Amino acid sequence: MSKGRHIGKNRTLHPTAEEIRMAEHRTRLAEPTERQMTTVAVARIELETDLEDRLNRVRAAYSRYLEWCYLGEAANVQSPRTAAAGVAEDLLLAPDDTAHLAARNVIQDLISPPEAETITFWGSPLGRVMAARGAYPTPVMPRDIAGVILGVTKQRVSQMVADRLLEVGAGTSGVTAASVLRLLVVAER
């Protein structure tokens, strides 16, 4: 019997060991070099300002809700500026698990679902930090959103897929949020 591909009695092709090894190699993502990583450099003041604006809107809505329910004035909680400073610090400087939790809370509490689907939000400093901290709301993101998060074109995203730096989501043309996350590093400007 010869080595390699042959047609057996049932007329099916059997892959060689080399073909199996190459198929496994193609499915693994390549390790990115330092040059291929994207640094999300953001000024703390930008994050604090954006978060404070969002917290002010939420606080106003919450106060109106309490008054509507006849519960009187809203509870005296820390100011939006103080809360925004704390959240920005967690997003920029905290250990990964704390930063991830802070980012998830911001996405859940301060970002409306329609806004979380826009290129504008994910291209903003706050959106890019949210993505770098693992808070993208779905496992797969469109390539154009991956591009603005990484700071590259949609065509470069396609090249990164071909280079096995990004993984295509199952059944979609988008890329997995996890594969984008592994290319991001957060740094304070």
| 14, 16, 20, 25 alpha-carbon torsion, rounded to 10° | -150
Q: Which long-range contacts (CB under 8 A, 24 or more apart) does 113-122 make?
A: 113/137, 119/144, 119/145, 119/148, 122/148, 122/149
Q: Which of 118, 125, 151 is closest to 51 using CA atoms?
A: 125
Domain residues of the chain, as ranges?
Answer: 34-188
pLDDT at 152: 92
**At which residue do the structure tokens 């074109």 appear?**
153
Tokens describing residue 163? 């280079």
38-78 pLDDT, tens digit per residue, is 887 788 888 889 888 888 887 776 665 555 554 444 445 56
pLDDT digits (tens, 9 = 90+) for 175-185: 999 999 888 88
Q: What are phi and psi of 168, to 5 degrees?
A: -75, 135
